[in-house]
Structure 1
Amino acid sequence: MPLFNQHLVEQWINKVALRHGRRVGHLNYIFCNDERILEVNRQFLQHDYYTDIITFDNCRGRTINGDMFISVDTVRTNAEQVGATYNQELHRVIIHGVLHLCGINDKGPGEREIMEAHENEALSLIPEISE
């Protein structure tokens, strides 16, 4: 289980959700290793590759609910590759999942750039990340 200020992260997620016209219901984070996320990716999405997060959407109306599997191994690797701290990358991945639950996609043409803009905006709302 990664160490982070859970209360601060919950407040931040609530703020981001409100900016997208949503409110937060039940969010479950399942922190796992690369092998486990690969199993989940194969079993539920028929994808045969590692990823940092898999988000399962259980939203009801404007209330976001979901389960998010996060590979701490991939988060660590990605942080090293982009020159970020582990916590900065972990926060980016967490908010990425939340943004998916808010209806933002990243698979179609131009959607990745839109997702990144929303991630950056969200990350600027939490002080220790923007420093």
Structure 2
Amino acid sequence: MNTNEFDIQFHFQKSIVLKERRRLKRFIMEKLFKEGNKCGSEVNFIFCSDDDLLEINRKHLDHDYYTDIITFDLSEKHSCKLVSDIYISVDRVRDNAKTERVLTTMELQRVIFHGLLHLIGYKDKTKKQEEEMRGMEEKWITDFSAFHG
């Protein structure tokens, strides 16, 4: 795997602790490569507020509700390079962590992996798809905890 072909960036419009960024980037690169993304990726994670993500949701998706993540696949048709902007609401991540009684760090990992799973083809519109998505999120969280890359 040529890591020069993978560009994973984190942008903070709203602050949140993102631990082990280098290890997380290497993990993401490896996962995307193993999932068939052989010619590279350019993925931007943008951490923002509820209000910012609500505005994006209204403007681009015509949805009028809060969400924790919106993933935009910006890849060119017929290109093997994956290009994406993934917006994550820091406020939703924190609230969801409290509701689910998990550490914010774990919820943040779940949401990051959720966005990436969407990019590689996983859906969550039906109950069956949602169960498969949750299973893959848990698998990636487990894989990341054991990853030494």
Asked if TM exceeds 0.5, the reply is yes
RMSD of the alignment, in Å?
1.8
Percent identity over paired residues? 38
CA distances 1:19-45 after superposition (whole Å, capped 9, x unpaired): 322245111111111111100000000
TM-score for the superposition, normalised by structure 2 = 0.79
Runs (4 or more) in structure 1 with deviation over 6 Å come to none
Does structure 1 residue 7 correspond to structure 2 residue 25? no
Q: Indicate whether 1:41 and 2:67 are aligned.
A: no
Q: What TM-score do the two structures reach when normalised by structure 1?
A: 0.89
Unmatched runs of 5 consecutive residues or more in structure 2: 1-14
Q: Report the equivalent of 2:69.
A: 53
Larger radius of gyration: 2
Report the CA distance between 1:14 and its aligned residue. Answer: 1.7
Q: Could you say which residue in structure 2 is the equivalent of 1:17?
A: 32
Of the candidates 99, 118, 121, which is equivalent to residue 103 of structure 1? 121
Deviations 1:65-113 (A, max 9, x none): 2001100000000001111111110011001011111111111341101
| Deviation, structure 1 residue 120 | 0.9
Tell me the number of residue pairs that the alignment of Structure 1 and Structure 2 aligns: 129
Structure 1: give runs of 5+ residues left out of the alignment: none
Question: 1 CA distance for matches of 2:51 and 2:102?
Answer: 23
